[in-house]
Amino acid sequence: MDSLTSEEAAHLRRAISLAAETARFGNRPFGAVLAGSDGTVLAEGSNTVAATGDLTAHAESVALRRAGAELGLDALRETTMFASGEPCPMCTTAMYQAGVSRVVFGMPLPRAQAAFPPDERAMNLRTRDVLALLPQPVELIGPVLEDEAAAVFPG
């Protein structure tokens, strides 16, 4: 397990809290916090796929959209995304395109997938595997605070 500073742990715990909140509205429990290089929170996001019918409304993508709209795209560069669960390939690619330089996540993909009924369309492509295909490095830290992140999942 990689260690986090107290500020980083607080950001990840906030992402986990957002995940718990969105689950109460019928969404899958995923939350995200985007922080600047100085640790300032730039935006937060929750999974709103079920509530909105938007299949791209994953927590990380929602946070990126909010930060981009409010602060401009340049503000997304050299940031850290704190995600309650391991980001999917779509969100990983979006973070890369935005210039996110670090990703910290709580619950790993296999454990998150095990919390839900089997889905034949589920992608078993891990974040590290997506990042390995990209030309610029992105630091990946996780899983950390895994049991805290898992506590908001069903079962």
Looking at the predicted structure, is the pLDDT value of residue 119 above 80? no
Options 3.40.140.10, 3.40.50.1000, 3.10.580.10, 3.40.50.300; CATH for 6-151 is 3.40.140.10
* pLDDT for 2: 64
Q: Tokens 């296999």 belong to which residue?
A: 110
Query: Tokens standing for 18?
Result: 């957002």
Is 21 among the residues known to form the active site?
no
Residue 91 to residue 131: CA distance in whole angstroms: 11
7, 8, 21, 60: the active-site residue: 60
pTM of full prediction above 0.75: yes
Give me the chain's average pLDDT, please.
Answer: 95
Encode pLDDT of 92-116 as tens digits: 999 999 999 999 999 999 999 888 8
Domain spans, the chain: 6-151
